[in-house]
Structure 1
Amino acid sequence: MTLKAVDAFIRALAAANPNAESELIYNSTFELLVSVVLSAQATDVSVNKATRALYERAPDARSMATLGEETIGEYIRTIGLWRSKAKNVALLCDQLLTLHGGEVPSDRDALEALPGVGRKTANVVMNIAFGADTMAVDTHIFRIGNRTGLAPGTNTRQVEDGLVKRIPKGLLRDAHHWLILHGRYVCKARRPECWRCTATEWCTYPEKILAP
């Protein structure tokens, strides 16, 4: 896809969903961080259901650390990989308290040093909480980057770098949301609903499905 087409593609998604935002429910940067950690290999819906009661009891790093791994696990049992996630959240909170005064750092290296936080999670937190022009490549964005021709790559970092380089700077931050939601609800994995896509004109996918 040419740079001109990339610009048009992203602007078409923006016009179709101008107020796109994360579907995770949170009330603070700390809650956002924990929710993103929990969302790995889990749906936002399942995370929101599990964290509602958890955040009512423990809305910050100190109160979450006080709960401990076992009690955190009781709240998130319905989420995939809940045992390892409960351990990571408990350790994450301890590290936030020890190294950052209980606050979530905005620095990438500091974020990625936290238990359970990889590049994708750091990108999400930096984008949403701190306004950084980052692109968190999940399975949806990886698929779209390759399928449409936006930014082909054999791994998530290649797709991320391609999108950051090719999407106009003024659109990059919000493009993270436009692409995730587009992949979740329109450009689906098994059967993309191209007939509903407002950007299909610029998409290079050779097997477009143009009728339901």
Structure 2
Amino acid sequence: MLPPGPFRLGAIEGATPGKWIDVWKSRYGQIPLELVPLGIGDQRGAVASASVDAALVRLPIDRTGLHMITLYDEVPVVVCSAGSHLTAAEELTLADLAGEVVITPTHAPIAVTVPGAEPPRFAAPSTVEEAIATAATGVGVVIVPMSLARLHHRKDAAHRPLTDGPHSTVALVWRDDGPTPPLVDAFIGIVRGRTANSSR
């Protein structure tokens, strides 16, 4: 018998928990699941402070005091203005970005060094959304996971896969401060594909 909840699930921007939430609702519809949006800068703190019971986070993250299950990797993409010469290619490499101004938001979702890139001559945007808006003006490019390029899609911007860029890994984390709480364990079962009738 599970406690009444709610189960508070933190989710980093761009994470895709929909299929797991649907399974939760079908199995545990009487127990509310509250989805709590998290930023890169506060993803670990939300779990460590118990603001959320578990969270979908973007790696790397300090794992001290946390359990973790790696869930999936996201392809990196280059976001540029819709009129950029970079849009002529279907895919890009790091070498294609030599000479480009690479914009990095304050809390970048992907850490990447582009050989031969030019540093911006303006302050770093504070969010991915602002970085994409800046890239859309044609003053530079930004490298983000594909989910974030889609989330912040703009008509004046385009994106192309970066074939040799680092992937962004999304993981499920929860506190390592004793036995796993029953609601967290139930959600772990869902992400691991356990059926309603299977046991650990």
Task: Give yes or no for TM over 0.5.
Answer: no
Q: TM-score of the superposition, structure 2-length normalised? A: 0.26
Higher RCO (CA-CA < 8 Å; seq separation 6+): 2
Q: More helix per residue: 1 or 2?
A: 1
Larger radius of gyration: 2
